[in-house]
Structure 1
Amino acid sequence: MKKAKHILGTSLLLVAGLFLISADHIDAPAVQGGSSDITDFYAFQGENSDNMVFVANLQGLLSPSATSDASFDESVMIEFNIDNDGDFIEDLVIQAVPRNGKMYILGPVKPMETGLSSTLTGDATKDFTSVDITAYGENAEIISKNGISVFAGPRDDPFFMDFAQYNAIIAGEASGFNNPGTDTFAGTNVMSVVVEVPKAMIGGTGTINTWVESKRKQ
């Protein structure tokens, strides 16, 4: 695969720990509703406790009718950033790039540069793990290579948020959330990328800081 220069489109902010969740639905005006709009970021220990799982969801609030036509933008790279020495600078990245119905995954690998710009480099036949992007309504396509497992495709939005009650709290009309609340995202979908990697590939047993970015090719 040829080298490609990417510049930051949007990101979900730095988070740390064994299990974490971060969400940002339609809150970034520059990319709101676009193909680089990140809705959720999840990182957690896998069912195999020797592995870590990274999940990035994009293009939130897709209706079922819109999901069948939704696709990953081939000019947008999804980049998982991993800081394993506590300086809040990425030491490793996992880069996900869609091409011709497949999602290509490079890494974890030391980045050629840190910060807002990234360079994608590698031999697609050797360095990348690839998986067919699952079509809406089809069984999940999952591929494993060299201990790395990958999925890419539409999924039901897993994030629960009662926006009506949230707005009522902000307006001083309510003192807290209801239990149970009303899921604003019920029935909507996202485009999801899931990468499971051995912990040994990202620094072993220590604490990591991790965040995700979407970067558009320039």
Structure 2
Amino acid sequence: MKKSKILIGAAVLTIAGFIAIAADHIDAPAVASGTSDITDIYAFQGEDTDNIVFVANVQGLIAPADTGAASFDENVLIEFNIDNDGDAVEDLVIQAIPRDGKMYFFGPIAPSQTGLNSTILDANGFNSVDITAYGSPAVTNTGGGMTFFAGPRDDPFYMDFAQYGEIIAGNATMFNTPGADTFAGTNVLSVVVELPKSMVGSGDSVNMWVESKRKQ
């Protein structure tokens, strides 16, 4: 097995009641504007309330004119890490990696090694979905009780960075109502997996974080 180096990890989420959000747009110099830059991670209860949905968005600030040519990097693996006993160590991982127009998903499964070098990619246990083309209806696929999606989407995160800068500089004390959406009109590449809550743990909360790992 080849080891992969982590380039960015978004904040750990404690998902009490299985609803949480975290964001990190182009804050890490090592991956800024690169194909492994994680912009946001989301976790929330599915329409089927027995399910939980995990979302990882990468490659932020894609202009609509450039979205058709944007693609997932086949050398970058996206890993959802799930801690279901509160010790801040992953008990399960779900991995996603693109190949030839498809996104392949592995897990959830307990990794043989925790930390940055965990590798599963079990050829005997995977699901896949066609990567949705920009401007096309969403393509999803189901397998093993899970549903999968991968493709471009409008960036759903709202943040007024200009006003935030004014607050940090001491020129303002609060955000405007309404503010200016810094990410309006820009797109991201999304990886989504929906699965039964019973597959991630038996308690009422889990921790989740996402790592992108580039092939070395």
- Tell me the TM-score normalized by structure 2: 0.96
Report what 2:199 is aligned to.
Answer: 201
Matches of 1:130 and 1:102, distance apart in 2: 6
Matches of 2:3 and 2:207, distance apart in 1: 24
Report what 2:50 is aligned to.
Answer: 50
Report what 2:111 is aligned to.
Answer: 111
User: Is the CA contact 1:144–1:150 (under 8 Å) kept in the aligned structure 2?
Assistant: yes
RMSD, aligned α-carbons? 1.0
Residue type at the aligned position of 1:97 = I
- Displacement of 1:78 in angstroms is 0.3
2:118 is paired with a residue of what secondary structure?
strand
Which runs of 5 or more structure 2 residues have no equivalent in the other structure?
none
In structure 1, which of residues 190, 212, 216 is the aligned counterpart of residue 210 of structure 2? Answer: 212
User: Is the CA contact 2:95–2:121 (under 8 Å) kept in the aligned structure 1?
Assistant: no
Residue type at the aligned position of 2:196 = P
Please tell me whether residue 132 in structure 1 is matched to residue 124 in structure 2: no
Q: Deviations over 1:73-125 (max 9, x none)?
A: 001000000000110000000000101100000111001211111213312xx
User: Is the CA contact 2:79–2:212 (under 8 Å) kept in the aligned structure 1?
Assistant: yes
Q: Which runs of 4+ in 1 moved over 6 A?
A: none
Q: Deviations over 1:3-56 (max 9, x none)?
A: 553221111021102211111111010000000000000011111111110000
1:26 is paired with a residue of what secondary structure?
coil
Matched-pair identity in %: 62
Q: How many residue pairs align between the two structures?
A: 214
Q: Deviations over 1:136-186 (max 9, x none)?
A: 111100001121000000000000000111011111111100111110000
Report what 2:188 is aligned to.
Answer: 190
Matches of 1:156 and 1:95, distance apart in 2: 23
1:139 is paired with a residue of what secondary structure?
coil
Matches of 2:53 and 2:121, distance apart in 1: 23
Report what 2:78 is aligned to.
Answer: 78
Which runs of 5 or more structure 1 residues have no equivalent in the other structure?
none
2:10 is paired with a residue of what secondary structure?
strand
Residue type at the aligned position of 1:54 = F
Matches of 1:6 and 1:31, distance apart in 2: 15
User: Is the CA contact 1:4–1:120 (under 8 Å) kept in the aligned structure 2?
Assistant: no
Report what 1:142 is aligned to.
Answer: 140
Matches of 1:185 and 1:216, distance apart in 2: 26
Report what 1:152 is aligned to.
Answer: 150
User: Is the CA contact 1:42–1:55 (under 8 Å) kept in the aligned structure 2?
Assistant: yes
Residue type at the aligned position of 2:110 = K
Matches of 1:184 and 1:39, distance apart in 2: 13
Report what 1:62 is aligned to.
Answer: 62
1:169 is paired with a residue of what secondary structure?
helix
1:13 is paired with a residue of what secondary structure?
coil
